[in-house]
Amino acid sequence: MSTRRLLAAPLVALLLLSCADEDSRLSTPATTFGTYRRALADGDGETAWFCLSSGYRRLEYNDDPQLLKAHLEREGGALGRRVARLEIGQETEINERLAFLQFDPTTVDPSRTPFYYFLHEQEGWKITTHLDSLFRGELEGAIERGEFRLPVVTR
């Protein structure tokens, strides 16, 4: 066996292990959004819960999946229809931890934001909220490092 192969084998193994925890359903912000959209359409609260960041779960549902389930039983149809209408206009990865989707304004309810925010956690890209303290801290750091400037939204 060549020296290159001997050196490459551990590197390949390390790369495979580092990706082992990431779920393909959450591999990009757009993929996570698609997974979430399908979960809502199918009434699959477990998968919808899986798509949400730990901070979002804590803030909105007190870290209780039963609260999301109850919310989906009450509002799931309307929420599913609202999310189904959204068309991605732009996907932006700010850095390895932060991203957002900006939706085509013609597909967004006027009372809603045209953005979904994402935080990269162990399983992959998770939907979060601008109120998530971890997201806010990461975003402030990205702005300070010059990785991101807040966009100007026109309607």
Tell me what pLDDT residue 12 has.
Answer: 46
User: What pLDDT is attached to residue 151?
Assistant: 67
Angle, helices 133-144/54-61, rounded to nearest 10 degrees = 130
Please tell me the predicted confidence (pLDDT) of residue 140: 95
The first and second tokens of residue 93, run together, are 């990865």
Q: Consecutive 10-residue runs of the chain (155 residues): their mean pLDDT? A: 50 45 90 96 94 96 94 87 95 96 95 94 96 94 92 70
- Residue 91, classed as helix, strand or coil, is strand
Show the domains of the chain with their CATH numbers: 25-144 (3.10.450)
For the entire predicted model, the pTM comes to 0.81
SS3 content of the chain, % helix, strand, coil (to 5): 55, 15, 30
